[in-house]
Amino acid sequence: MNTKLLNSALSDVETELLAVFASDGATGKDAKPELRLLTPDDAPLKAAQAVLDGGEFRAEANETLLLHAPAGLKAKRLLLVGLGKAAKATIHDVRKASGTAVRFAKPRGIREIAVAAPAAESMEPKLAVRALVEGALVADFDPDTYRSDRKDRSVQALQVVTGAAVDRAAVEIGLREGVIVGEAQNFARSLVNEPGNRLTPTILGQRAAEMCREYGLTCEVHSTGKLHELQMGAFWSVAQGSDEPPALIVMRYEPKGVTDGPVLGLVGKGITFDTGGISIKPADNMEKMKYDMAGGAAMIGTMRAIAQLQPKVRVIGIVCAAENMPSGKAQKPGDVQIAMAAGPDRAGKSIEIINTDAEGRLVLADGLTYAKQLGATHLIDAATLTGAVSVALGTINAGVFSNDDATYAEFAEALKISGERFWRLPVEDDYRELIRSQIADIKNTGGRYGGAITAAMFLKEFAEDTPWVHLDIAGMAWQDEAKPWVAAGPSGVAMRSILEWVRRYEG
Ligand code: BES
Ligand code: MN
Ligand code: ZN
């Protein structure tokens, strides 16, 4: 999608479709709607006055109303998109509403649109334009990649129309950031969308390496030999059951002149297909387990955006990619594995495997230890780790866990920009006994209750004293139903929040 800013009176905008945001200023619960348009000038309001008075449009969130040949406008069509109640409308509603405009245009063969930047006191213009552009790009993505009759219905051009009063430099930055972030999120989604046969660990490694080459990051993709050399017994225990070799993907962003300060370690679960292994999953819905690399994809997408935005902080991205398969070489329940050691004078922790389907925490254990060995001072991981997190939080919030309140606070700040929804769950030491093993240091599952928490407790053993944030995105990485602003399928969740978390450590 080609995006540009246009500083123009709305009446003069020549376009197939001009979208404007509307809100309801009424405050009482059953009060009659008081419709407002959040536009830099009043031309659209004049064109839409009769229909607004008619009462058929209430500006509810993502409600749309189309007018053809709007009076006094050069635009061929005027689309009103609701943001809901004016007092509550935020840039996160703008992100969705601009997506709704794009997904309105797509099936109608409209390939060029203009959107009026929302003029509202409560919204900072730079962030509003950024959210608008992100929403438009994310909405343009459709996951029907392998349909032989696939029609390209992309919206190819987006003009963001601002008023003369706005700080041009600021909104230019907003536009540029919106493009970078939206494209990075779609890149992550395109990886998540790929089926297991077309995105093996090796291929995921190639995709990451290509991205790094294109955007100027250093990248190494290791496999079996390196896992053995580093004695990554936890990661290898998952990989050993598959004919597909694992990939240990290491991406580095090292801004010039930054030689001290934090080093952020981003660690992603990259299970390209999760059968469960010997503890095999039931057939129903197993096809979904191609998205078990969504945490890894979020990290690759984040590194792409970092390479373009160039924050002044060092970042290492690690993806532990493997296929979890049952075979004659697969690990078995009861096996004991030795994880990578946290230092030359340390023994690797021993792990009793109770369930081979709890494989994500195994690959991440070694990924976290390796990130620390490479110098990470702060860790964040993202993983489709547990079904239990969706039992706890549904599909509205993802889970976030942390061993450090200050580091969590930075993540909470990041959420204000990203608009993504995460809910903090505990990792208190009292839960530790649930993963105690008779035979080894720990076991890889914690029984029936608190499954998302015991998985996080397992990871905490490997983060140790390093400040760490863990994101369990199992319930959010794949959207079963389409929304007006986004297609069903891979969501790209977590990438935007991790990016903003990283930017908060800029020196
Ligand atoms: N990849 C799954 C978790 C998952 C479930 C992701 C549903 C997305 C949707 C993970 O590897 C897994 O199998 N977890 C088990 C853990 C259990 C064996 C302790 C689970 O959640 O059932
Ligand atoms: Mn599993
Ligand atoms: Zn898994």
Q: What is the CATH number of the domain that holds 271?
A: 3.40.630.10
Q: Are 328 and 219 in contact (CB under 8 A)?
A: no
Q: Are residues 302 and 433 in the same domain?
A: yes
In this prediction, residues 81-95 reach a mean pLDDT of 97
- Whether residue 45 is predicted with pLDDT greater than 90 in this model: the reply is yes
Residue 153 lies in a domain: yes
Give distance in angstroms: CA of 233 to centre of ligand 3. Answer: 17
Pocket of ligand 1, candidates 385, 391, 449: which has the most ligand atoms within 8 Å of its Cβ, to mutate? 385
Residue 491 lies in a domain: yes
Ligand sitting nearest the alpha carbon of 451? 1
What is the predicted pLDDT for the residue at 156?
98
- Whether residue 281 is predicted with pLDDT greater than 90 in this model: the reply is yes
Residue 407 lies in a domain: yes
Q: Are residues 236 and 128 in the same domain?
A: no
Atom of ligand 1 nearest to the CA of 451: 19
Residue 28 lies in a domain: yes
Give distance in angstroms: CA of 277 to centre of ligand 3. Answer: 10
What residues line ligand 1, using a CB cutoff of 6 Å? 274, 292, 355, 357-360, 384-388, 445, 451, 474
Atom of ligand 1 nearest to the CA of 355: 18
Ligand sitting nearest the alpha carbon of 275? 2
Q: Are residues 190 and 159 in the same domain?
A: no
Query: Which CATH number characterizes residue 14's domain?
Result: 3.40.220.10
Atom of ligand 1 nearest to the CA of 276: 13
What is the predicted pLDDT for the residue at 507?
83
Give distance in angstroms: CA of 284 to centre of ligand 1. Answer: 14
Structure tokens at 292: 């078990």
Residue 402 lies in a domain: yes
Q: Are residues 49 and 190 in the same domain?
A: no
Q: Are residues 236 and 353 in the same domain?
A: yes
Q: Are residues 262 and 329 in the same domain?
A: yes
Over pLDDT 90: what percentage of the chain? 97
pLDDT tens, 424-461?
A: 999 999 999 999 999 999 999 999 999 999 999 999 99
Residue 390 lies in a domain: yes
Point out the domain boundary residue: 95, 128, 163. Answer: 163
Cα–Cα distance measured from residue 313 to residue 259, given in angstroms and rounded to the nearest whole number: 9
Helix or strand or coil: residue 389?
helix
In this prediction, residues 66-74 reach a mean pLDDT of 98
281: annotated active-site residue = yes
Give distance in angstroms: CA of 472 to centre of ligand 1. Answer: 10
What is the domain extent for residue 56? 2-163
Point out the domain boundary residue: 130, 163, 196. Answer: 163
Ligand sitting nearest the alpha carbon of 445? 1
Confidence at 254, pLDDT banded by 50, 70, 90: very high
Q: Are residues 143 and 204 in the same domain?
A: no
The mean predicted confidence, pLDDT, of the chain is 98
Q: Are residues 358 and 242 in the same domain?
A: yes
What is the predicted pLDDT for the residue at 405?
98
Q: Are residues 132 and 69 in the same domain?
A: yes
Q: Which residues surround ligand 2, an ion (CB under 5 A)?
A: 274, 357, 359
Give distance in angstroms: CA of 356 to centre of ligand 1. Answer: 10
Point out the domain boundary residue: 99, 132, 163. Answer: 163
Residue 436 lies in a domain: yes
Query: Which one of the listed residues 76, 85, 281, 424 is annotated catalytic?
Result: 281
Q: Are residues 461 and 494 in the same domain?
A: yes
pLDDT tens, 354-408?
A: 999 999 999 999 999 999 999 999 999 999 999 999 999 999 999 999 999 999 9
Total number of domains in the chain? 2
What is the predicted pLDDT for the residue at 342?
97
Q: Which residue has the higher pLDDT, 114 or 163?
A: 114
pLDDT tens, 305-347?
A: 999 999 999 999 999 999 999 999 999 999 999 999 999 999 9
Which residue lies with its CA nearest to atom 17 of ligand 1? 358
Q: Are residues 35 and 153 in the same domain?
A: yes
What is the predicted pLDDT for the residue at 152?
86
Q: Are residues 235 and 353 in the same domain?
A: yes
Residue 408 lies in a domain: yes
361: annotated active-site residue = yes
In this prediction, residues 473-481 reach a mean pLDDT of 98
Helix or strand or coil: residue 446?
coil
- Whether residue 67 is predicted with pLDDT greater than 90 in this model: the reply is yes
- pTM beyond cutoff 0.95: yes
Which residue lies with its CA nearest to atom 7 of ligand 1? 387
Residue 306, CA distances (Å) to 21, 39, 80, 303 in order:
31, 32, 34, 5
**Cβ count within 10 A of residue 12:** 12
What is the predicted pLDDT for the residue at 28?
82
What is the predicted pLDDT for the residue at 64?
98
- Name, in order, each residue with C-beta under 8 angstroms of 244's C-beta and a sequence gap of 6 or more: 200, 201, 202, 272, 322, 323, 325
